[in-house]
């Protein structure tokens, strides 16, 4: 357990950040799942619109530092190529 005030503050900050990051990561995963579900169903139009929303959520998570920039780009790239294959 932390004894110094600065260490106690650090613990509080970490807890807040962890909660925020968990929420953002969970939200991103949900939107990615929606894109994958549309791809699985073969619904190209729905997949395209879901990809647009997912891409903005991923970019938002990257800007907040939840994901590394290249990880976000990788997620978007892979989803976009899967959607493009639908036609």
Any idea what the Cα angle at residue 29 is, between residues 28 and 33, rounded to 5°?
120
CB neighbour list of residue 66: distance below 8 Å, 6 or more residues apart: 21, 24, 25, 28
Q: Could you give the CA distance from residue 40 to residue 24 in angstroms, rounded to a whole number?
A: 24
Spatial separation of the C-alpha atoms in residues 1 and 48, rounded to whole Å: 49
Q: What is the pLDDT of residues 40-70, one digit of tens each?
A: 999 999 999 999 999 999 999 999 999 999 9
Tens-digit pLDDT profile for residues 1-37: 789 999 999 999 999 999 999 999 999 999 999 999 9
pLDDT confidence band for 87 (50 / 70 / 90): confident
Mean pLDDT taken over the chain: 96
Residues 6 or more apart whose CB falls under 8 angstroms from that of 62 comprise: 68, 69, 71, 72
| The predicted structure's pLDDT at residue 82 | 96
User: What pTM was estimated for this model as a whole?
Assistant: 0.86
Quote the percentage of the chain above a pLDDT of 90: 94
> What is d(CA 27, CA 22) in angstroms, rounded to the nearest whole number?
9
- pLDDT value of position 15: 97
Which residue shows structure tokens 């900050």?
13
């Amino acid at each position: 357990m932390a004894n110094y005030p600065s260490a106690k503050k650090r613990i509080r900050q970490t807890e807040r950040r962890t909660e925020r990051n968990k929420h953002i990561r969970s939200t991103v995963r949900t939107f990615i799942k929606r894109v994958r579900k549309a791809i699985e169903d073969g619904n190209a139009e729905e997949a395209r619109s879901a990809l647009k929303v997912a891409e903005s959520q991923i970019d938002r998570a990257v800007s907040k530092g939840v994901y590394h920039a290249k990880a976000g780009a990788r997620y978007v790239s892979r989803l976009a190529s899967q959607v493009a294959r639908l036609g």
